[in-house]
């Protein structure tokens, strides 16, 4: 099994383990970068293996984006709602309130992921925002 497929299997297993019951429909929002996009290539095929499960997978991903940049993009959008950094269509607020998410992932840029100090205060800020706007979502860190 190649590394990408292993990562997708681990991601799905870790996410599912935190849920109290296996849902018929799983709604996942990723807040990350191009590595988060890899989930979109493999996770749907894994979920399709169970005909009783449906996956709604949405990304707030920007190539090379760090937690700091995601937070700054959010602040900029809050001041100027026309600023929509996600697919040039959405703000983070819009995406977080678009669905009743089961899981929201956050991901640090690879170049920063090994430095604990780069997570603070941005991870906490994003987690606070997720808890406010998607209170029922499990928050998972997607690591690279």
3-state SS assignment for residue 92: helix
Domain boundaries, the chain: 3-7+25-141
Angle subtended by helix axes 34-48 and 3-17, to nearest 10? 70
Nearest to 64 by CA among 126, 113, 103: 113
- Other CB atoms within 10 A of residue 141 CB: 15
* Per-residue pLDDT at 89: 95
Residue 82 structure tokens: 């026309």
- Run means of pLDDT, 10 residues per run, the chain, 144 residues: 54 57 81 90 87 92 96 98 95 97 95 92 97 97 85
Q: What is the CATH code for 3-7+25-141?
A: 3.40.50.1110
Q: By C-alpha distance, which of 95, 5, 2, 3 is closest to 43?
A: 5
Tokens of 19: 């849920």
Contacts of 3 (CB under 8 A, 6+ apart): none
């Amino acid at each position: 099994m190649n590394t990408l497929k292993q990562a997708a299997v681990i991601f799905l297993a870790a996410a599912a383990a935190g849920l109290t019951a296996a849902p018929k429909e799983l709604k996942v929002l990723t807040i990350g970068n191009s590595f988060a996009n890899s989930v979109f290539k493999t996770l749907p095929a894994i979920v399709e293996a169970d005909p009783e499960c449906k996956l709604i997978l949405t990304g707030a991903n920007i190539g090379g984006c760090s937690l700091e940049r995601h937070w700054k993009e959010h602040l900029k959008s809050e001041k100027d709602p026309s600023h929509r950094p996600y697919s040039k269509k959405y703000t983070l607020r819009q995406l977080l309130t678009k669905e009743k998410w089961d899981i929201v992932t956050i991901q640090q840029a690879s170049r920063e992921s090994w430095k604990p100090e780069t997570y603070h205060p941005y991870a906490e800020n994003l987690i606070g925002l997720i808890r406010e706007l998607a209170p029922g979502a499990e928050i998972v860190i997607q690591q690279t």
